[in-house]
Amino acid sequence: MKKTLYAIASGCVAGLLAALPTFGQAQLHVGLTSAFNTTLVLDKGLSEDPRYNATPTYNFAPVGLSAGADFGRGFGLQLESILSRQGQVYQIIDATKQVIGERRIELNYLHLPLLLRTFSTGSARTRANFMFGPQLSLLTKGQEIYDQHQRGTLVLPEGEELPAGASEYDPAKRTYVMPAQETTIYSTEAQNAVQQFRKMDLQLALGLGLDIDLGRNLYLSTQIRGNYGFVDVRNEDVINAIKNSTGKQFSSDLFGRRANVLVGAQVGLHWMFGGNRSSLGGSGGVPQR
């Protein structure tokens, strides 16, 4: 996966270098964006754990900047900088299937996608666009909190050890009692490296939507945007701990790596220097002479 992402990044950079000789003929644009997303943290361990139930999680990516260049024949490159809130909420479920709390994964990122941009040509005011490329995501803040609101009886998964503070264990039913508690499991502020998050994430970004001309230089972009992470969001020391058969208290969370996933709607307002394609007679990205 990482090799694929690096190959895409190399392709985008190579495309940019190849296009530099014609950069003077390109249409440059800058813009502001915002997005509303469904965010997930894929984790096989938590998904298969009877103590947790994943719920839909929605977050804003309130602020984004973009800058790009459109060349002829429906081709362009775009670099973005996006502040994004992501994560996942897992309900804590007791032995009677009642919700007694939640486990919250809250992550704030600065996304830096480099996107190959293709778009339909012609002089129509509305045009289709498609973008894809690698994305470097820098973690600015993160925490994972276990918040059990009330005392409850929980089911212990196969192969898992009793957590600290558990009592009244029933080996026949594999149930135990946990008191109400709130605990920070992982955090960017943690002193212990095993309890920290990875500071950078490599992702693949995809987008499909429409560009709509609002004036000679102004256009609106609308997209369905998706991101998928290729590395575990937790600190590498966590993975090394499992490889070395230590850190057994984390085993229920580490059946598989954790991957960031985002799918949402992104809207942007952009200024096209020299005029939009519809105002230039559909020149496909290069102003007509």
In a domain, 289, yes or no: no
In a domain, 12, yes or no: yes
Distance CA 31, CA 253 (A): 40
In a domain, 174, yes or no: yes
In a domain, 23, yes or no: no
| CA angle centred on 238, ends 235 and 239, rounded to 5° | 100
Q: Return the residue matching tokens 């950079």.
A: 13
Distance CA 287, CA 280 (A): 6
pLDDT band at 216 (very low <50, low <70, confident <90, very high): very high
More confident residue, 79 or 284: 79
In a domain, 251, yes or no: yes
- Between the alpha carbon of residue 203 and those of residues 5, 30, 101, 243, the distances in Å are 7, 23, 31, 24
Q: What total number of domains does the chain contain?
A: 1
Report the CATH number at residue 78. Answer: 2.40.160.20
In a domain, 285, yes or no: no
User: Which 3 state secondary structure label does DSSP give 158?
Assistant: coil
The reported pLDDT for the residue numbered 239 is: 54
Residue-wise pLDDT for 182-196, tens only, equals 999 999 988 887 788
Percent of the chain with pLDDT over 90: 58
In a domain, 283, yes or no: no
Owning domain of residue 137: 2-18+31-272
Assessment of whether the complete model's pTM goes beyond 0.95: no
In a domain, 113, yes or no: yes
Residue-wise pLDDT for 95-113, tens only, equals 999 999 999 999 999 999 9
Task: Determine the average pLDDT of the residues in 70-90.
Answer: 91
More confident residue, 121 or 261: 261
